[in-house]
Amino acid sequence: MATSGGSTCGGGGERKGTKRKTLFDFFQPKRSVTSPDDCDGGGGEGGYASTSDSPGTAIVDTVTVEDTSITVIADDICDVDVNNISVDGTDVPTSDLAVSSASASVSQTTSPCGASVTPDTVRWASSYDVGFYRRKTAKELDDYTLQQLLENPWVPPSNYKFPFSTHMKQGKEERRFLTHRHLDKNTHEWLTFSDMDQGLYCKYYVFFGPSEKKGKVLVGNLVKTPLKKFAKLTGVSGDLQDHAKLKYHLDAVDAGKTFLLSVKYPNKNIHKQLDSQHSTEIAANRERLMCSLDNILFLGRQGLALRGHRESMNDECESVNKGNFLKLLLFRKEIGDEKVQKHFSGDRKRDLFHSKIVQNDLVQACGDEITEEIVNRVKKLKYYSVLFDETTDMSHTSQLSLSVRYPYHDAKENKITVREDFLSFVHPRDVLEKIENSELASGDEDEVDDPTDSNIELTEEDIEQRLTGTKLGQITVNVLISVGLDPKYCVGIGADGCSVNTSDTTGAIQEIQKTCQNAVRAPCFNHALNLSISKSSKVPAVKTAVHVIKAVGSFFRASSKRHRRLLKVYHRTLPTLCETRWVQRHEAVQVFLSGISEIIEALESISNWQDGETAGKAKSLLNNLLQPEFLVTLVALQDILATSISLSRFLQKETIELQEASDALQDTLSVLEEKRRNSDEIFGILYNSAEELTSKFGVVIPQPRGSARGRHPTTNAESYYRQTIYNPMLDNIIQDLNSRFTSEVLQCYDLNCLLPLVVLTCKEKSQAEKLTKLAARFSSLLDVPEQILLQNLKAEMALWKTKWRREKEEGNPIPKSCAKTLEVCDETLYPNIRALTVILQALPSSVATSERSFSTLRRIKTWLRSTMNTERLSGLALLNIHRDIQVNKKNVINRFAKKNKTRAKNLAL
């Protein structure tokens, strides 16, 4: 083991010999991101390797000694004292050696393998790069990952630039290159190349070979370290041929192929063939489990509770509520379901799969299956956006809702549509508590601070557990990585406009963009519209009117007797001015105005009741409703909300595109600005309506009192109310909407210049500037150099513009949306335009999907089910929301069986 005297792992404040855990460590990674352990050791070219960790020790994977240089490669990067290095207790003189990577800083965001969580590590893990998994043995990897590493390891593409090694020959330096010819499966089927380590491995020997020195065989190149010297690979005495002759290599190949056969044909495994009775039990167990799974799927899809007050099949009392899960099984048995009857025919009760642990694991397995299907859909066209929002559930627990928006190729209809799918609920504060507890548990007892020490100053973080934007962003990123989504292809971030999300220094969006570097913030149009309309309450008359509407609604809802009196005259319930249901907020004012006559009639009737308190409240509300200012304000407010309600409904569509939302918002702004310019004429019509309403109730609109120094000098009541109510309302809404949406957002980050309708109207100079911006912004995402991308875009745009000019001359329809554009955009002719159009389609315009998931949350986690944990909640929510996604039952049972060895044995895994 290589050690450095006095070295300290980590940055300031870290304890010696420990590695600070991050949020990522508390999410179970999916198989696409499984990775090796931190410190399993490895062999270097010099033969030095570490296998343990201790205070003041640098964890060294490889020590390479060559000529006059020593290279130390470590997962846990520490400050190393290069003047005091020892290997296995023997001092290594370093005075004459040049040391590479002697000092470095600790990475703050780590994956479970200790490596930095970057797009490269995700790519190596998901593409099954053998180098990424080389420290794991076959027993430490799950069967699926090991199968992929042996059958489908990463293969360099045809244009891949292979590494080379340099060698001295006759006093001259020569290069020896690795080529695709060396990786020919027909010649060396066991050989694979690692993009991560830039060298060759024997894929069978890495996982099935001896981990240390075995006989005369020293584990090194092609096994624990990559072969990087390519001078003598082929030939009779070449490195590859010599390795292929080793007995331990042949044993490893035989073990690997035996494993593959057992995975492909689990029921034909030699051990199971020797025990036919066990095979019969396995089939019966899977069939019994299928009955329980059918119940889980039915109840989960319907959003019904599974368990009752007392779950026991032994309790024969009919009055005991056994819960929907058990009662549904019994009902199926009673009506003659043969599968369920066989289910109850077994002698062993443990094989019935009824326990709450089984139910929870099946729910989670169903959720994982649905999540994997969504992730696979996302990966087909690569680009996606993340949507997140937070709420509090029935148990006063914080729940973070995560959804993804992505273009989806519908194979049935052979067209590209856009989907917004809920992904998961996360309990962020629970994760933060786990981090703090793990840090205390990992430290030395004598180094743990005494909380009773009077010299210790408690910080605000110690007193109050704060969920900052930085932590929220880290949680979001790590959930995306844990389910197998590549942060590189995240192009948009949808969230509301609160300061926790939008802060330039500690905001969640800012933190997400550190990892998802190609993502742009896509503000929620619906939230912005709702907040802008709320700005109208700055006008005193509007604020009073809204308060009166709420008070009247609360008055009728507070008593069934009052509510029944209202229904007799109005025949409908007054909707509330809901803070989150945007459309209902618009409708509440419209419904109130349309039924104001009936509301006044009901209040007049109630004001004559014998109940003095109720009659007094009714009389007070009646006086407020009959105020001239209230009636004029109500008519003016209804006129403005009638303009915005259609936009509010439109913005909640899942398939709406950013360009469509931008156009609809600008159209609404134009209408509001037109109303402001012609306010004299428009308000005159509204004032006449208000006068008709007041005359109906016998109310006279008085002439306002004038003042020489007044802010609103007027000559009549109409002019007064126009200047004090109508115009300020319009000014506040228009100004707020303009401030919330920049020109960059409204122009869809210049991506809208690719749509045919914009192509035909955009000027040449403006179009050239936009193409330049697009090339600079998206060159890294498309993996094309900026200048080359710009040239290609200009060439494609010339063809694209010519095509649509011809289509216009021929009278053919011009596409206005991304979906219609992609139907006619040939990928061969316009590859870059098509890719950028897909990105535009992936950008969100609203977080309505997250808001809808909160409705599901409240239906599932009710008062009676308030103790439900987050994992179970996510699984049930996925089943209830994604009814269109078919769950593969066999895959669910396989996932369930992987939970422990006993299940794997009894379910043939």
Q: How far is CA 869 from CA 276, 388, 399, 860, in A?
A: 41, 20, 11, 12
Tens digit of each residue's pLDDT (9 = 90 or more) over 795-818: 999 999 999 999 999 888 998 888
Token pair of 491 as six digits:
């192009």
* 566: nearest Cα among 590, 594, 592, 601: 601
Token pair of 748 as six digits:
């869809």
- Cβ atoms of 282 and 908 closer than 8 Å: yes
Give 736 or 598, the one with higher predicted confidence. Answer: 598
Rounded Cα gap, residues 747 and 740, in angstroms:
14
- Cβ atoms of 515 and 487 closer than 8 Å: yes
Rounded Cα gap, residues 545 and 550, in angstroms:
9
Token pair of 765 as six digits:
């100079």
Position 77 scores a pLDDT of 38
327: pLDDT strictly greater than 90: no
What value does the mean pLDDT of the chain take? 77
Position 488 scores a pLDDT of 92
Token pair of 490 as six digits:
């995240």
Categorize the per-residue pLDDT at 438 as very low, low, confident or very high, splitting at 50, 70 and 90: low
Position 403 scores a pLDDT of 94
- Cβ atoms of 110 and 74 closer than 8 Å: no
3-state SS record for 541-599: HHHHHHHHHHHHHHHHHCCHHHHHHHHHHHCCCCCCCCCCCHHHHHHHHHHHHHCHHHH
Instruction: Identify the bridge partners of residue 175 per DSSP, sorted by sequence position.
Output: 166
Tens digit of each residue's pLDDT (9 = 90 or more) over 684-706: 999 999 999 889 888 888 877 66
DSSP symbols for 744-805:
HHHTGGGGGGGSHHHHTTS-HHHHHHHHHHHHHHHHHHHT--HHHHHHHHHHHHHHHHHHHH
791: pLDDT strictly greater than 90: yes
Q: Which strands sit side by side in the sheet containing 69-73, from one edge to the other? A: 62-66, 69-73, 98-100
Return all residues near 28 (Cβ < 8 A) that are at least 6 apart.
Answer: 482
- Cβ atoms of 844 and 522 closer than 8 Å: yes
* 400: nearest Cα among 475, 316, 488, 319: 475
Rounded Cα gap, residues 628 and 690, in angstroms:
8
Tens digit of each residue's pLDDT (9 = 90 or more) over 150-163: 888 888 888 888 88
- Cβ atoms of 661 and 623 closer than 8 Å: no
* 484: nearest Cα among 192, 887, 156, 145: 145
Rounded Cα gap, residues 494 and 524, in angstroms:
7
Range 550-553 contact pairs with CB under 8 angstroms and sequence separation of 24 or more: 550/576, 550/577, 551/621, 551/624, 552/592, 552/599, 552/603, 552/621, 552/625, 553/577, 553/588
Rounded Cα gap, residues 671 and 668, in angstroms:
5
Rounded Cα gap, residues 501 and 518, in angstroms:
17
Out of 313-327, 399-413, 518-532, 850-864, pick the least confident: 313-327
Position 588 scores a pLDDT of 83
Out of 11-15, 184-188, 765-769, 900-904, pick the least confident: 11-15
Token pair of 605 as six digits:
């009737």
- Tell me the average pLDDT across 814-823: 87
Position 530 scores a pLDDT of 74
Out of 55-59, 601-605, 710-714, 747-751, pick the least confident: 55-59
Position 709 scores a pLDDT of 54
3-state SS record for 197-262: CCEEEEHHHHHHCCCCCECCECCCEECCECECCCCCCCCCCCHHHHHHHCHHHHHHHHHHHHHHHH
Global pTM reads: 0.64
Categorize the per-residue pLDDT at 114 as very low, low, confident or very high, splitting at 50, 70 and 90: very low
- Run of H or E including 641: helix 628-650
- Cβ atoms of 715 and 630 closer than 8 Å: no
**What percentage of the chain has pLDDT greater than the value 70?**
74
Residue in this structure with the two tokens 């005091």, named with its chain if needed: 84
Rounded Cα gap, residues 873 and 425, in angstroms:
7
